[in-house]
Chain A
Amino acid sequence: MSEQGPQQVNGLQGPAPEERPRPTGRRNSQGIRIDPEVEAEPEPRRTVISALVENEPGVLAKASGLVSRRQFNIESLTVGTTTNPETSRITLVIEEPEPGIRQVEKQLEKLIPVISVQELSADAIRRELVVLKVHGDEPDKVQAVTEMYDGTVLDAGPRTISIEITGDEGKIDDAIDAFQQFGIRELARTGQTAMARGDVWTTDIEEERYERMHEDWRKHDQQ
């Protein structure tokens, strides 16, 4: 404690801010050190994250709640069971700069019911399904466009025709554009599901699980 001038509300001393030396470096808003001359912010990139999760109540809510509260930019989220009835796969399409993608992976991984998380490579198989309901005035033309996109007519009546198209995101977008001419009354898209291509496991832990499951089956068969 020091006894200083009675008017001084605050006794702190030292060189004022403008008198202090300043470091030369700088970081960007992501906390990455950068060349202060070049203001580079990382570009967002669209990618697919696959998460294998325990099939328990609340897991989807936990995953989707996480994505929304951390403001991850998400294009779609789909979920379904796997070969193992105790696990589900959540497939997320996100658009984030690199640090954001790593955060999505790591934050998902932190959820206790999440078993494994992986970003899929660019060549992964990605599929989405859309159901479109268009006006039924020109059935022949609708049929022709449907065939162009390898689609299926699910229901045709005097007033409406419903069509299913499956494909990657670009194909679905194109198809929707093409059907626009008939007047799309309603549209439902599933969001993308995806799987690693070729002899690669979608999430790394699956190989181990698969082997274990088959081991169990073999034992079962032998008995």
Chain B
Amino acid sequence: MSEQPPATIEGTEDEPLDGDDPIPTPVSTGAGSVIRALEVAGVETCFGVQGGAIMPVYDALYDSEIRHVTMAHEQGAAHAADAFGIVAGEPGVCLATSGPGATNLVTGIADASMDSDPVVALTGQVPTAFVGNDAFQETDTTGLTAPITKTNYFATDSDSVGDTVGEAFAVSGSGRPGPTVVDLPKDVTNGPTEKEPGEPRTPSTYDPQTEADDEAVERAARTIERAEKPVILAGGGVIKGEASAELRKFATEYGIPVVTTMPALGAFPEDHELAMEMAGMHGTGYANMAITHCDVMLAVGCRFDDRLTGGVETFAPDAQILHVDIDPAEISKNVEADVPLIGDAGTVLEQLAAEMARAPDVPEWREQCQTWKDEYPMDYAAPEDRPLRPEFVVEALDEATPEDAIVTTGVGQHQMWACQYWTYRHPRTWVSSHGLGTMGYGLPAAIGAKVAEPDRQVVCFEGDGSFLMTCQELAVAVRENLDITVAVLNNAAVGMVRQWQDAFFEGRHSASQYPWVPAFDKLAEAFGAQGFAVHEYDEVAETIEAAVAYDGPSVIDFHIDPGANVYPMVPSGGDNGQFALSEDQL
């Protein structure tokens, strides 16, 4: 990135503007250079909410061709930018004012940080002279966001602020992606400057290693060749590193079963015969058997989160771990790597493939994996005379939408059913809140995803609790006429909490049941979206068809079995191989 030539300014004498290129925003103030920096970085869309300290930036945006989606709440802006980043593979940009605007962004920034999603947040700040005096709407934004950003910046002068924004953009999107924040005091954005910002570049102190050391590659290849029970554990880094094709090639060429982490849904096609699908707390039985019994684990772009590993003492206890990651700090952080392979996922997979002399000879192991698939099928009982099963709804929506439809979710049981019963076949079709587990992520994420990919269908699964946290963003979906389908899996409870209370708190339902739940179909109508309510099996298919056909945002309130629980389950800190198939096995 740092090697790139300085920006050529379109529309100057040496490079006349052609018809299709956006007209560059003229730079006369710091704010103009902030917006110009975004244009130079190729930003075409941003999400945000206006306010006092950020007004100069919005004023400059007024002249720009960058599309701004005004959100209902700054948390929504951050999640929308995050989902945009996930789907587009380049940083999503969000804007907020100082004080409450910035603090409202915090949840979304923390979410992006936990999931390594590229997000650039620009926050207004009180004028420099007022900073530290508890001025109106002052908050220490760089202090607040330091632990939840890849890095952050406090802009100090109008001439350099554009380059700072460029750097924030470059850092956010490169290496292991993550959120960055630029805090913009009003005097800096209002101050005069004519300085054109250059191309985004990362600072000289930031230079991620992309190629693994030869010696490590050699050792890893020998280990895989000799493996008796090899498994590939694909993490979210496979998707972020655009390495799905390399992964597929490697797995099929050497006949190695592939388990995915939750953020990696779609990194490997789930209908492939080598696919063992998701492992971890609510992973498939067969995935958890495979990772527990493997003797070599090629882990690519994952961070061994506790929801994946369960107790580390019993995690893949016989396995040599070959850990590919672009972030050296992930190596041996939670689980010791026998062979560290620091580098970019796709590059290292290619290095490994080039070094492999033969495939491991493991037909029996593949057969064993298949046996586990037959032994522990992902199945559910759905008798017609009983309340609607959520798994059925997930499968019905999957069936009614194209393969490349994008799924977003809130957090709770509904999110887990969306993991388990939708078949993910392509990278960047799964958009969820994994590491932070932020209820209310689904709808703003659906907005961000749809804005990034207007031609693809977007389905959002929400719970009745989670949906209530951000449902005001329906106003935005209607205003922007975004054709998204929201499926509320309504069990009149914060179901995931209720499930844990049943399993671990003797069924004491403290603050987890809703005696009354809004009519989400009517709520949707009040916002100007299309609303549907479904109670019976025979209404499912036709309602989905109508909702998907509707040109604009629609909400289906699915009244599901309030007793439905998510299984298999590995209790926190548990042994993956001892997953429970029902509550009495916990």
Binding site for B on A (CB under 8 A): 1-6, 8-17, 20-33, 54, 57-58, 61-62, 65-66, 69, 99, 102-103, 106-107, 109-115
Give chain B's interface residue range (CB within 8 Å of chain A).
Answer: 35 or more
B381 touches A11 (CB 8 A): yes
Residues of A within 8 A of B565 (CB): 9-10
Q: Smallest CB–CB gap between B508 and chain A, Å?
A: 20
Q: Smallest CB–CB gap between B274 and chain A, Å?
A: 20
Does B327 make an interface contact (CB < 8 A)? Answer: yes
B385 touches A6 (CB 8 A): yes
A13 touches B581 (CB 8 A): yes
Task: Please list 14 pairs of residues, one from A and one from B, whose beta carbons are closer than 8 Å in the complex, sorted by A's number.
Answer: A1-B391, A4-B381, A10-B565, A12-B581, A17-B578, A22-B577, A23-B293, A25-B318, A54-B205, A58-B152, A109-B329, A112-B171, A113-B151, A114-B205
14 A-B pairs besides A10-B582, A13-B379, A31-B304 with CB distance below 8 A are: A4-B379, A5-B383, A6-B381, A10-B581, A13-B375, A14-B375, A17-B578, A20-B289, A28-B313, A29-B312, A30-B312, A31-B336, A58-B146, A111-B151
Task: Using CB atoms, name the residue of chain B closest to A110.
Answer: B329
Measured in the bound complex, the distance between the Cα atoms of B563 and A216 in whole Å is 74
Task: Using CB atoms, name the residue of chain B closest to A115.
Answer: B205
Consensus secondary structure, chain B interface: loop
Residues of B within 8 A of A6 (CB): 381, 383, 385-386
Measured in the bound complex, the distance between the Cα atoms of B336 and A103 in whole Å is 12
Measured in the bound complex, the distance between the Cα atoms of B304 and A14 in whole Å is 27
A26 touches B313 (CB 8 A): yes
B318 touches A24 (CB 8 A): yes
B582 touches A12 (CB 8 A): yes
Measured in the bound complex, the distance between the Cα atoms of B293 and A114 in whole Å is 41
Does B423 make an interface contact (CB < 8 A)? Answer: no
Q: Smallest CB–CB gap between A116 and chain B, Å?
A: 9
Does B4 make an interface contact (CB < 8 A)? Answer: no
Residues of B within 8 A of A30 (CB): 312, 336
Measured in the bound complex, the distance between the Cα atoms of B567 and A8 in whole Å is 13
B312 touches A27 (CB 8 A): yes
Residues of B within 8 A of A113 (CB): 151, 205
Q: Which of A17, A28, A112 contacts B580 (CB 8 A)?
A: A17
A17-B318 contact, Cβ under 8 Å, with A9-B565, A10-B565: no
Docked complex: B133-188 residues within 8 A CB-CB of A: 142-143, 146-147, 150-152, 154, 171
Measured in the bound complex, the distance between the Cα atoms of B151 and A65 in whole Å is 13
B335 touches A31 (CB 8 A): yes
Measured in the bound complex, the distance between the Cα atoms of B375 and A16 in whole Å is 11
Residues of A within 8 A of B507 (CB): none
Residues of A within 8 A of B152 (CB): 58
B147 touches A65 (CB 8 A): yes
Q: Which of B147, B312, B395, B567 contacts A31 (CB 8 A)?
A: B312
Does B334 make an interface contact (CB < 8 A)? Answer: yes
Residues of B within 8 A of A107 (CB): 329
- Tally inter-chain residue pairs, CB-CB below 8 A: 146
Q: Smallest CB–CB gap between B572 and chain A, Å?
A: 15
Does B472 make an interface contact (CB < 8 A)? Answer: no
B383 touches A16 (CB 8 A): no
Does B585 make an interface contact (CB < 8 A)? Answer: yes
Q: Smallest CB–CB gap between A140 and chain B, Å?
A: 49
Measured in the bound complex, the distance between the Cα atoms of B143 and A65 in whole Å is 10
Residues of B within 8 A of A65 (CB): 146-147
B335 touches A27 (CB 8 A): yes
B285 touches A5 (CB 8 A): no
Measured in the bound complex, the distance between the Cα atoms of B391 and A23 in whole Å is 32
A27 touches B379 (CB 8 A): no
Scoring B residues 308 to 334 as 1 if CB is less than 8 Å from chain A, else 0, what string do you get?
Answer: 010011110110000000011101111
Residues of A within 8 A of B143 (CB): 61
Measured in the bound complex, the distance between the Cα atoms of B455 and A79 in whole Å is 54
Measured in the bound complex, the distance between the Cα atoms of B147 and A115 in whole Å is 19
A16 touches B581 (CB 8 A): yes
Task: Using CB atoms, name the residue of chain A closest to B395.
Answer: A1
Residues of B within 8 A of A1 (CB): 379-380, 382, 391-392, 395
B142 touches A58 (CB 8 A): yes
A106-B564 contact, Cβ under 8 Å, with A1-B382, A12-B380: no
A109 touches B328 (CB 8 A): yes
A20 touches B312 (CB 8 A): no
A11 touches B380 (CB 8 A): yes
B381 touches A10 (CB 8 A): yes
Q: Taking each of B146, B579, B580, which has the highest tally of chain A beta carbons within 10 Å of its own beta carbon? A: B146
Measured in the bound complex, the distance between the Cα atoms of B151 and A60 in whole Å is 13
Residues of A within 8 A of B336 (CB): 27, 30-33, 99
Measured in the bound complex, the distance between the Cα atoms of B577 and A24 in whole Å is 12
Task: Using CB atoms, name the residue of chain B closest to A111.
Answer: B151
Task: Using CB atoms, name the residue of chain B closest to A66.
Answer: B147
Measured in the bound complex, the distance between the Cα atoms of B392 and A17 in whole Å is 26
Does B402 make an interface contact (CB < 8 A)? Answer: no
B580 touches A2 (CB 8 A): no
Measured in the bound complex, the distance between the Cα atoms of B563 and A9 in whole Å is 8
Does B363 make an interface contact (CB < 8 A)? Answer: no
Task: Using CB atoms, name the residue of chain B closest to A30.
Answer: B336
B328 touches A106 (CB 8 A): yes
Q: Smallest CB–CB gap between A90 and chain B, Å?
A: 14
A3 touches B382 (CB 8 A): yes
Does B346 make an interface contact (CB < 8 A)? Answer: no
Task: Using CB atoms, name the residue of chain A closest to B327.
Answer: A110
Does B568 make an interface contact (CB < 8 A)? Answer: yes
Residues of A within 8 A of B380 (CB): 1-2, 10-12
Measured in the bound complex, the distance between the Cα atoms of B329 and A63 in whole Å is 15
Docked complex: B190-214 residues within 8 A CB-CB of A: 203, 205-206
Measured in the bound complex, the distance between the Cα atoms of B315 and A26 in whole Å is 8
Residues of A within 8 A of B395 (CB): 1
Residues of B within 8 A of A17 (CB): 577-580, 585
Task: Using CB atoms, name the residue of chain A closest to B292.
Answer: A23
Residues of A within 8 A of B309 (CB): 31
A27-B315 contact, Cβ under 8 Å, with A17-B585, A20-B289, A115-B205: yes
Residues of B within 8 A of A29 (CB): 312-313
Measured in the bound complex, the distance between the Cα atoms of B332 and A223 in whole Å is 52
Residues of A within 8 A of B313 (CB): 26-29
Q: Smallest CB–CB gap between A28 and chain B, Å?
A: 7
Measured in the bound complex, the distance between the Cα atoms of B381 and A6 in whole Å is 7
